Amino acid sequence: MGDNSSDTMPSPAKIAAQEDALLKQFFAEVSEVERDNEVNRILSCFKLNPFDYLNLSFDSSIDEVKRQYRKLSLLVHPDKCKHPQAKEAFGALAKAQQLLLDPQERDYILNQVNAAKEELRAKWKKQLKKDTASKLKSLVTEGKFDQEHEQSEEFQHQLKLKVKEILTDQEWRRRKMAMRISEEEGRLKKDEEETKEMWKRKREHEEQWEGTREKRVSSWRDFMKGGKKVKKGEIRPPKLKTEDPNKSYVQRPVKRG
């Protein structure tokens, strides 16, 4: 008889479905207190650290992120959890997963994590210089002592705090830059509006000037035809004396008695 064991083996899709069923069954038995505690934990997380929301270490893989999200989202799902802020916690988890699945966002966060590690490592090296015994141990173990230190709870706690500090500083810089950009855009918009208003007034002035063109031309023509009329009481300026063609001067008025 042939071996039919391969025919009876469940498919990967069936295995995944069974795991989901077991997971849902498990969380159906979780107490309301545990659900509420998880909601409170999520809502107290540092907002700029998606790893914190999912309660994962910084070196977690993409698959671990997905598994953890499924687990926690079932725990705080608004349909299962009666906590008044369950929906908010559920949304925070979804956003955290989205950030960590986005290559650009994930790289940005991990770059800040690496920067934090470098600062802590530099600090650790300074401490080793002062502690001769620890320095010798580090040299003898060929780096294993340093690795153990970075895996310790103390280092992980310091790393979490340092990452929080760096992310906060970067966010502050980003907001400050956004504010400066907004202010500059506002200034440029104001200058543009003032320029438009200036050209509008200039155009209106030119239109008004052009509108009175015929009137001005007509007045000038009348002036050229009739000459300037002497108003009553006005003294006309004396004419040039023309008897002597070689002299051009103005004859002063002679008073007559």
Domain assignment present for residue 25? The answer is yes
State the average pLDDT over residues 14-25. Answer: 69
User: pLDDT (tens digit, 9 = 90+) per residue, 42-98?
Assistant: 999 999 999 999 999 999 999 999 999 999 998 999 988 899 999 999 999 999 999
CA distances from 15 to 5, 6, 11, 22, 80 (A): 16, 15, 6, 11, 24
Domain presence at residue 96: yes
The reported pLDDT for the residue numbered 9 is 58
pLDDT band at 40 (very low <50, low <70, confident <90, very high): very high
* Residue 216 lies inside a defined structural domain of this protein: yes
Q: What confidence tens digit (pLDDT) does each residue in 220-232 have? A: 776 676 655 555 5
What pLDDT does residue 1 have?
46
Q: How does residue 25 score in pLDDT terms, banded at 50, 70 and 90? A: low
Q: What is the pLDDT of residue 101?
A: 96
Q: Confirm whether 2 is domain-assigned.
A: no
pLDDT at 203: 83
Residue 94's pLDDT is what? 96
- Do 136 and 196 share a domain, yes or no? yes
Residue 88 burial by Cβ neighbours in a 10 Å radius (0-12, 13-18, 19+)? middle
CA 63 – CA 67 distance, rounded (Å): 6
Q: Are residues 79 and 180 in the same domain?
A: no
What is the model's pLDDT at position 143? Answer: 59
Q: State whether 119 and 92 are in the same domain.
A: no
* Same domain flag for 117 and 153: yes
pLDDT at residue 144, as a whole number: 72
The closest alpha carbon to 143, from 158, 121, 161, 123, belongs to 121
133, 190: one domain: yes
Same domain, yes or no: 29 and 90: yes
Residue that finishes a domain, picked among 76, 100, 124: 100
Do 96 and 113 fall within a single domain?
A: no
Is the same domain home to 138 and 81?
no
Note the pLDDT tens digit of each residue in 115-170: 999 999 898 888 877 766 555 555 545 557 677 878 888 888 999 999 999 999 99
Report the alpha-carbon distance of residue 116 to residue 54 in Å, rounded: 20
251, pLDDT greater than 50? yes
190 and 113 within one domain:
yes
Domain count, the chain: 2
Are 187 and 127 part of one and the same domain? Answer: yes
* Alpha-carbon separation of residue 37 from 29, 34, 87 (angstroms): 15, 5, 14
Could you tell me if 126 and 201 lie in one domain? yes
Convert the pLDDT of each residue in 176-217 to its tens digit. Answer: 888 777 777 777 787 788 888 888 888 888 777 777 777 777
Among 100, 123, 141, the domain boundary falls at 100
CA dihedral for 35, 37, 41, 44, sign (positive or negative)? positive
Beta-carbon contacts of residue 150 (< 8 Å; ≥ 6 apart): 117, 121
**Domain encompassing residue 117:** 109-220
SS (H, E, C) the chain: CCCCHHHHCCCHHHHHHHHHHHHHHHHHCCCHHHHHHHHHHHHCCCCCCHHHHCCCCCCCCHHHHHHHHHHHHHHCCCCCCCCCCHHHHHHHHHHHHHHHHCHHHHHHHHHHHHHHHHHHHHHHHHHHHHCHHHHHHHHHCCCHHHHHHHHCHHHHHHHHHHHHHHHHHHHHHHHHHHHHHHHHHHHHHHHHHHHHHHHHHHHHHHHHHHHCHHHHHHHHHHHHHHCCCCCCCCCCCCCECCCCCCCCCECCCCCCC
Q: What is the pTM of this model?
A: 0.59
Examine the domain organization and report whether 114 and 187 are in the same domain.
yes
